[in-house]
Amino acid sequence: MKKTRFPLTRRDFLTSSLSIAAASALSNALPFPANTPAGAVSFPKNFYWGTATAAYQIEGAWNEDGKGESIWDRFSHTPHKIKNGDTGDVACDHYHRYREDVNLVRALQTNSYRFSIAWTRIQPAGSGRPNPKGLDFYSRLIDSLLEANIRPFPTLYHWDLPQALEDAGGWPNRDTAQRFADYSDIVMSALGDRVQSWMIFNEPWVFTTLGYLLGTHAPGRTDVDAYLRSTHVVNLAQGMAFRVMKGVRPRSVVGTAFSLSPVQPATPSNADKEAAERTHRWQNVWFLEPALKGKYPDAFVGVTPEMLGVQPGDMEKVRAPLDFIGVNNYFRYIASAIRPKAISLNPIAKIFPVDVKLGGDTGPKTDMGWEVYPRGLYEIVMRISKDYGRPIEITENGCAYTDAAGKDGTDHDTRRIAYYNGYLRELARAIKEGADVRGYHAWSLMDNFEWAEGFSKRFGLINVDFKTQKRTMRESGLWYAKLAQSGTLPAAVKKAK
């Protein structure tokens, strides 16, 4: 068996070394379902069709117009952290080309565009007076979207903490929650007159776990104690920002985009079923349950409120009755109870005695190595809808594939079309069965900086040539535009290979 290293890469942690499930047992336990709707499928009227991006992944201009250094600037400038030494210094140069990009959003016939705001453009060091040039950039972007009848749908924080705040302790430091609440006040006061719907965080589980526990993302720390505290401070920040935003704009619609994946037991044993539920409580709802229910789910063994840094009154502060739940879904998890022998291999097995494998072995894999599992979107939407009864926005779903351009210059990315076709059919099924889903955002509008993977993974409906910055619509983009315009998937089903 492959040896487990620490720190682990994201893929190591989630795909192989900590997993003990045998592939054959899995395929017996998890037959691929055949009940995906195959005929023409119509989505609700007034449905939002969108695409999603994030500031660090597309903007570039990393040190222009007064922008401060973020943890991702620092991390990507550190040798060996990012594949091929890539950085987001220029990325898609969106900071200078946003008008062209809004035209592409329009060409896709979409009526919603999810983007994020770089905290360091607004407050270069994470506190103090706002930088007018930073606010002005987002103000211009928002105006361009509104002129094109596209809903601006911003996220306040998509992983780019000001480096100055990391130097002061980062997310494990309680003070960061207050800094974040101040930042949310500035942004809402400046832009809330034109933006109604907001996300506070993007994937809080991912940026805390990869940033403070696994060390594969910025700021690259591997400290279990700091990690546990960071999760509580993020929950505090979520509750505090929610109240600040509602205070400034009571009619605003505020949610968070969570990384949410259905978790299946590797075998029908009670131990594996319990392992799957434990995984759901940590990886899916650790940042949702405090907001909506004012409590932490029972995910860890032996982790006390003191270890999380919980102080009297905090469990009221973490509450945030989110107006919607953002679902980012890419894959499923397979969980099995950890074997006693594996405890010494897994640095957190004492507090989390589960082996988690990312994806099963039934579907094809994308370039990320992620299994294509369309039914997972149905499963997680139904579970979240049943457990929390809130409106849902699909805030991310998509796939990385590289295809050479055909003779006509277009990427005929049939695998990407098949992916979207499959997931959207499963989403339609969830809606039909009662889930209140308001919108869907494809990740991503265009190829961009895929974090530790640099530019090696292409998620875009639009191809970007990073040497020339030329954007070219893929066949999937044309396909998505038709869907966004008609709101209907035609009857012919292309099956993912």
The yes-or-no answer on residue 277 being catalytic is no
User: Taking the complex as a whole, how short is the minimal distance between the CB of residue 202 and ligand IFM, in angstroms?
Assistant: 6
The smaller minimum CB distance to ligand IFM, of residues 266 and 356, is found at 356
User: Taking the complex as a whole, how short is the minimal distance between the CB of residue 286 and ligand IFM, in angstroms?
Assistant: 17
User: Taking the complex as a whole, how short is the minimal distance between the CB of residue 34 and ligand IFM, in angstroms?
Assistant: 28
The smaller minimum CB distance to ligand IFM, of residues 287 and 443, is found at 443
- CA–CA distance, 409 with 465 (Å, rounded to integer): 12
**263-265 β-sheet, strand order:** 263-265, 333-337, 354-358
Cα-Cα-Cα-Cα dihedral of 423, 425, 430, 431, to 10°? 120
Q: Which residues sit at the interface with ligand IFM, rule CB under 6 A?
A: 54, 57, 203, 328, 396, 443, 450
User: Taking the complex as a whole, how short is the minimal distance between the CB of residue 240 and ligand IFM, in angstroms?
Assistant: 23
User: Taking the complex as a whole, how short is the minimal distance between the CB of residue 56 and ligand IFM, in angstroms?
Assistant: 8
User: Taking the complex as a whole, how short is the minimal distance between the CB of residue 404 and ligand IFM, in angstroms?
Assistant: 22
Paired residues of 116 in beta bridges: 155
Q: Which residue is nearest to ligand IFM (CB)?
A: 54
Q: Which of 59, 69, 166, 203 is catalytic?
A: 203
User: Taking the complex as a whole, how short is the minimal distance between the CB of residue 289 and ligand IFM, in angstroms?
Assistant: 21
The yes-or-no answer on residue 203 being catalytic is yes
The smaller minimum CB distance to ligand IFM, of residues 54 and 237, is found at 54
In three-state form (DSSP H/G/I as H, E/B as E, the rest C), the secondary structure along the chain is CCCCCCCCCHHHHHHCCCCCCCHHHHHHHCCCCCCCCCCCEECCCCCEEEEECCHHHHCCCCCCCCCCCEHHHHHHCCCCCCHHHCCCCCCCCHHHHHHHHHHHHHHCCCCEEEEECCHHHHCCCCCCCCCHHHHHHHHHHHHHHHHCCCEEEEEEECCCCEHHHHHCCCCCCCHHHHHHHHHHHHHHHHHCCCCCEEEEEECHHHHHHHHHHCCCCCCCCCCHHHHHHHHHHHHHHHHHHHHHHHHHCCCCEEEEEEECCCEEECCCCHHHHHHHHHHHHHHHCCCCHHHHHCCCCCCCCCCCHHHHCCCCCHHHHCCCCCCEEEEECCCCEEEEECCHHHHHCCCCCCCCCEEEEECCCCCCECCCCCECCCHHHHHHHHHHHHHHCCCEEEEEECCCCCCCECCCCCECCHHHHHHHHHHHHHHHHHHHCCCCEEEEEEECCECCCCHHHCCCCCCCCEEEECCCCEEEECHHHHHHHHHHHHCEECCCCCCCC
User: Taking the complex as a whole, how short is the minimal distance between the CB of residue 443 and ligand IFM, in angstroms?
Assistant: 5
Q: Active-site residues: which are they?
A: 203, 396
